[in-house]
Structure formats: structure tokens, C-alpha cells
């Protein structure tokens, strides 16, 4: 795949991956607790303490933060530090923040601190359908992403190596396909396959995903100056996947 094609694909997929976020939805505390336990088990970490109230928690649209933001410096991103922080908020009907608590860590103390700073610095406007009670609990995901659909085509294998080193430090038992940059590439090409081929081809890709990831990482280690996305495409082609 030519870099121009990759760039065009990235821009097209941005419409799907970065489209306006869905309205907040209510879900049970039990469901959220189950999700967090699963994440903690994958990371080998203890499950964060949970508030035991039975009242439903409403999920707010997630917040994406990219390098260059005051809360996520380029220098920090270059070290591979990235991740998701889940925070429970209690807001009044006027949108005043009454309390905030991290219920799932990014496994980076700095990102956790910056996510709380974001929450505490906002003027919140509650969704109309969810602002009838005197106070309401909300779940917010603050996601610090080193890469975007508009920059991933410029990422080098050496930069992936940095991301991978950090990932293996905080999530040693997880497969490398869940490194954020590789997840992004997989999302882009899944969209491409569904649009230009069919669901069967996308399923074939999903089944080969771990092997393709391992092959791409090995190739990147041999040629750190190569572009990650071209290396990934070559690894997929060797497994019979053509984008």
C-alpha cells in the first residue's frame, strides 16, 4: 500500500473513529465494577476500591487527549506513556463538581494526576435527560493517545519500540496487539476491509491479528527506521491479508 493510500485511509477512517460521541448512557454499578475487575486482572493490578452505592452510573462521552495538550506533553508522549483513566464524578443539577475519584488507573501516576486536573478544571453541562436528580454519578474515560488517525502513517518502528517497552512494563501479561498504535492500525484496516471487501475478509484478518502483530514487531526490530504502517502492511500480506 502506497503511503498516499494509507494517508487517505486514515482521513476517511477518522470520520468513523472520531465521529461525534454518543450521548451519556446509564449503566449499573455492577457492570462497571465487572469491567474494571477485568482490566485490573489483565494488568496484574489490584482492583480499585469501588463506591458501593446501588444508584446507576451514567457514562459520559470519553475525552481524548493528544500530545501537545497542556495535560499531555510531547516529551512525555515520546517516552511511550499513554493510557486510559476512568473517573467517577458526582455532579449537581447545575453541573457543579461535587466529587471525583479514579476507579481505574492508567497505570501512570502522571496521567492519573492530569486526568483529575482535567475533570476538576471543567465547567460541566449535564445531558438534559440525566439531570433530574439532586446529584448524579457519572463515569468518564480520559484517554491519552500518542497517535491519531492523521499521524499514524508517519510513525516509525523505533517509536513503536518505545511504546512497546512501556506497554510491557505496565501490562506484561497482555498481547502486544493491544498497544495503542497497533490497535489504531487494526481499526483502520478493519474499516477498510469491511468497506472494500466483506465481513468474511475482516473476520479472516481478526483471526490472524496476533500473528500479524508478532511478525510486524519482529520486522520493526530488524529495521527500526522503517515506517510502522508499511511494515505492518507487509506482515499482513505475508499472512494472506490484502488491504
Could you report the per-residue pLDDT of 31-76, keeping only the tens digit for each? 544 454 444 444 444 444 443 444 556 888 999 999 999 999 999 9
Mean pLDDT computed over every residue of the chain:
82
| Cell numbers placing 233 | 502492511
Could you report the per-residue pLDDT of 3-12, keeping only the tens digit for each? 444 444 444 4
Contact 60, 97 (CB under 8 A): no
Could you report the per-residue pLDDT of 152-210, keeping only the tens digit for each? 999 999 999 999 999 999 999 999 999 999 999 999 999 999 999 999 999 999 999 99
Those residues whose C-beta lies under 8 Å from the C-beta of residue 235, and which sit 6 or more positions away, are: 212, 213, 215, 216, 219
Instruction: Report the alpha-carbon distance of residue 120 to residue 207 in Å, rounded.
Output: 42
Which domains does the chain show, CATH number per domain?
A: 20-144 (3.30.1150), 152-238 (no CATH)
Amino acid at each position: 500500500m502506497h503511503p498516499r493510500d494509507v494517508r487517505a485511509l486514515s482521513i476517511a477512517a477518522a470520520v468513523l473513529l472520531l465521529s461525534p460521541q454518543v450521548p451519556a448512557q446509564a449503566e449499573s454499578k455492577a457492570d462497571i465494577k465487572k469491567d474494571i475487575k477485568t482490566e485490573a486482572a489483565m494488568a496484574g493490578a489490584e482492583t480499585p476500591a469501588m463506591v458501593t452505592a446501588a444508584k446507576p452510573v451514567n457514562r459520559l462521552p470519553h475525552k481524548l487527549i493528544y500530545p501537545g495538550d497542556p495535560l499531555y506533553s510531547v516529551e512525555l508522549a515520546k517516552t511511550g506513556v499513554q493510557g486510559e483513566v476512568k473517573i467517577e464524578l458526582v455532579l449537581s443539577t447545575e453541573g457543579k463538581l461535587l466529587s471525583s475519584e479514579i476507579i481505574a488507573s492508567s497505570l501512570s501516576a502522571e496521567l492519573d494526576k492530569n486526568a483529575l486536573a482535567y475533570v476538576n478544571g471543567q465547567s460541566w453541562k449535564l445531558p438534559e435527560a440525566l439531570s433530574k436528580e439532586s446529584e448524579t454519578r457519572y463515569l468518564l474515560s480520559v484517554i491519552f493517545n500518542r497517535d491519531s488517525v492523521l499521524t499514524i502513517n508517519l510513525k516509525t518502528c523505533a517509536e513503536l519500540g518505545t511504546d512497546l517497552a512501556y506497554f510491557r512494563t505496565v501490562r506484561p501479561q497482555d498481547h502486544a496487539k493491544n498497544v495503542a498504535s497497533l490497535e489504531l492500525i487494526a481499526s483502520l484496516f478493519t474499516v477498510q476491509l469491511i468497506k472494500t471487501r466483506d465481513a468474511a475478509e475482516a473476520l479472516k484478518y481478526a483471526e490472524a491479528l496476533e500473528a500479524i502483530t508478532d511478525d510486524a514487531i519482529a520486522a520493526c526490530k530488524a529495521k527500526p527506521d522503517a515506517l510502522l504502517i508499511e511494515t505492518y502492511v507487509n506482515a499482513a500480506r505475508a499472512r494472506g491479508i490484502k488491504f
